[in-house]
A and B are shown apart, each in its own frame.
Chain A
Amino acid sequence: MSMVDASSWGAALVRISPYTFSAIGIAISIGVSVLGAAWGIYITGSSLIGAAIEAPRITSKNLISVIFCEAVAIYGVIVAIILQTKLESVPTSKMYDAESLRAGYAIFASGIIVGFANLVCGLCVGIIGSSCALSDAQNSTLFVKILVIEIFGSALGLFGVIVGIIMSAQATWPTK
């Protein structure tokens, strides 16, 4: 059945249950995305609060930065829900088949893709949001221009979600 020598590391790796990989993938997808979103929100939020003391007009517009960061967490939740619907039971005899492993790895990879793409996207949007709040407080014509940069930054998370969903479509478990 397995091509590798029974006592090597390769053999140990393929004997890890594909369910483990899937579960970890789902956890990373939501966990790391939320980490990125939270990180971005606090970076923006602290600057926004301080800048709004001298320039109260900036608060309502600059909440957009916080919303962009929050969107990143939502992407993570959506993909986690999609991934967990792809998780099916397989009969024990087929659990270590190549196709089973493939499905497990697909879900794992999808989770990592989405998680880390959202992590850096959240950071990016957060840092830009902080600079946006401070610049808007000094000169209100700058807001829309910096917002364009933020929109490009938030596209990064979207790329991660797209690729993650394409990967998860490959997660076909063997049938009886």
Chain B
Amino acid sequence: MYGFEALTFNIHSGYLEAIVRGHRAGLLTTADYNNLCQCENLDDIKMHLSATKYGPYLQNEPSPLHTTTIVEKCTLKLVDDYKHMICQATEPMSTFLEYIRYGHMIDNVVLIVTGTLHERDVQELIEKCHPLGMFDSIATLAVAQNMRELYRLVLVDTPLAPYFSECLTSEDLDDMNIEIMRNTLYKAYLEDFYKFCQKLGGATSEIMSDLLAFEADRRAVNITINSIGTELTREDRKKLYSNFGLLYPYGHEELAICEDIDQVRGVMEKYPPYQAIFSKMSYGESQMLDKAFYEEEVRRLCLAFEQQFHYGVFFAYMRLREQEIRNLMWISECVAQNQKSRIHDSVVYMF
């Protein structure tokens, strides 16, 4: 019952909520980012990071550092935190935490299938996969020739199996079909996650519904913009939009027929939360859209911490860490390539 979670939440999840709030205190602040932006090379970055929670993960790295190493070690911290939480969790929180991984699994599957299509080596691809999305038979993905085989050989044993019912065709895998497969899987995953959160009820369902609805709407806009000028038909485009969120169903109808970015802007400006995002960009400019969406997402995720006794804090913490790792990657790349003037283009500050 909404409002009375405080009475029983701490029985199973009080300890883990306190731990995740402790981790949140260790996220990098604006002052940390300012220090990092002043670095001259990657060793400086490593020195600054050694004073943060990433210290133990980076301290043993030998001196000619690469950007990918920094990102890999920081991701290891995220994975360690996640594993610590999930091994202590009971139902239904353990299912909730498992759901957070499925997005990464989908990304890994698409990464390997695309890589195989472009004739890359499987081992090399597996090393690039996100550790949170690994599952046992992932290497077998390289063998599949079309989607039906993909499902039958590998994915039927994974948690992604129920999301496949809508994209089982015998078509061969090419770039376009793989993108459609990715978006169809992700749509099914978001809807499943949304239904699960609704079933949990209480504060969790309210906060998670808001966060997932924003995610669904953001993906709808990205799908629209990316498919402008491609062969994707309007019906196919509409099939990729999730069936929940602020834009459902009328916004989706309008987005499906958009043919350029200004039309997308026209559609989105009818919705007050998104009008604020689009009004920050002048006409014809779409590069800043990604950053604007990330900033809005970070703002909502930080708000999830304002309430106690719900599972949304775990989701929010994982997402904020991922955003932080993206920030670190961008900063490292700018520093390594000596383009420090462009650092502020893409860093999203959290606190």
Q: Contact residues of A with B, CB < 8 Å?
A: 39, 42-43, 46-51, 53-55, 123, 127, 130-131, 133-134, 137-138
Contact B21 A49 (CB under 8 A): no
A51 to B16, CA, bound (A): 9
Complex A-B: 17 CB contacts under 8 Å: A42-B10, A47-B18, A49-B15, A50-B17, A50-B19, A51-B19, A51-B22, A54-B25, A55-B25, A127-B6, A130-B308, A131-B308, A134-B18, A134-B21, A137-B21, A138-B21, A138-B25
B22 touches which one: A39, A50, A123 (CB < 8 A)?
A50
User: Top 10 A-B pairs ranked by shortest CB distance?
Assistant: A50-B18, A54-B22, A46-B14, A51-B18, A50-B15, A50-B19, A127-B6, A47-B18, A46-B10, A43-B10
Which residues of chain B are near A39, meaning CB under 8 Å? 7
* B21 CB to nearest chain A CB (Å): 5
Contact with A along B1-33 (1 / 0, CB 8 A): 000001100110011111101110110000000
What is the predominant secondary structure among interface residues of chain B facing chain A?
helix
Q: Bound state CA distance, A48 and B11, in angstroms?
A: 13
Contact B25 A130 (CB under 8 A): no
Interface string of B51-65 (1 = CB under 8 A from A): 000000000000000
Q: How far is the CA of A51 from the CA of B23 in the complex (A)?
A: 10
What is the CB-to-nearest-CB distance from A18 to chain B, in angstroms, rounded to a whole number? Answer: 35
A131 CA / B5 CA spacing, docked (Å): 13
In Å, the complex CA distance between A116 and B16 comes to 30
A127 to B4, CA, bound (A): 11
A134 touches B308 (CB 8 A): yes
- Distance in Å: Cβ of B27 to nearest Cβ of chain A: 11
Contacts beyond the supplied A46-B11, A49-B18, A130-B14: 7 A-B pairs with Cβ under 8 Å: A42-B14, A50-B15, A127-B6, A131-B308, A134-B21, A134-B308, A138-B21
Cα-based distance from A139 to B116 in the complex (angstroms) = 50
A127 to B6, CA, bound (A): 7
Asked whether A53 and B19 contact (CB < 8 A) given A131-B308, A134-B308, A138-B25, the answer is: yes
